[in-house]
Amino acid sequence: MASNQQSQPADVELIPATSAQAPILANLLELYAYDFSDFHNIELGDDGRFGYPKLPLYWTDPNRHAFLVRLNGKLAGLVLVKRGSEVSGDEGVHDIAEFFVIRAYRRRGIGTQIAHATWRRFPGPWEVRVMASNQAACRFWQCAISAFTGGAAPFTRFEKGGEEWRLFRFVTQANS
């Protein structure tokens, strides 16, 4: 039965999050940080939470956008988008600040649908930064970008905080 569910088209929604939904995003960011702690040295706070200090900026800074992801009506993840490059400082670039799909919905093409919906929403230049040690994420982003652009998804390497990262750069069109 599970294979039938996976073969049916998924109704994926990218929903702009309101400030009233900040606690939901904060909870999802805890799950994301826990997963990410396999690749990055993230410390728990004294309260037992990782925390995400920049979350309030997503309702006060017009260059930041928070989204909840729903799959067939059920909460499935989040996307945080910001304007401005973390690497080059280019203010015109859109950046995937955070991207998270809960484990139960991974490896079914849902993340790719979410990424594509995000890129269609914000046409123009994009950057996606990925820690080189997170090989699954590197493969995911390379495939998602390649499927979206219809071409190769080359990346450049850079170092930040003593860790190697990959930077994917591409441009989306208004009607992609």
Q: How far apart are CA 153 and CA 149, in angstroms?
A: 8
What are the domain boundaries of the chain?
2-123
Residue 48 confidence (pLDDT):
64
**Residues facing 79 on adjacent strands:** 67, 99
* Residue 61 structure tokens: 């800074």
CA dihedral 124, 130, 136, 142 (to 10 degrees): 30
C-alpha 18: how far from chain center: 18
Residue 32 confidence (pLDDT):
77
| Cβ atoms of residues 129 and 165 within 8 Å | yes
Question: Residue 96 gets which letter from DSSP?
Answer: E
Residue 115 confidence (pLDDT):
94
Residue 1 confidence (pLDDT):
35
- 2-123 folds as Aminopeptidase (3.40.630)
Residue 5 confidence (pLDDT):
39
Residue 39 confidence (pLDDT):
67
Grouped pLDDT means (10 residues each) for the chain, 176 residues: 44 93 92 71 71 90 96 92 90 93 83 93 93 90 93 88 90 74
Residue 165 neighbours by CB under 8 Å, 6+ apart = 129, 130, 131, 132, 157, 158, 159
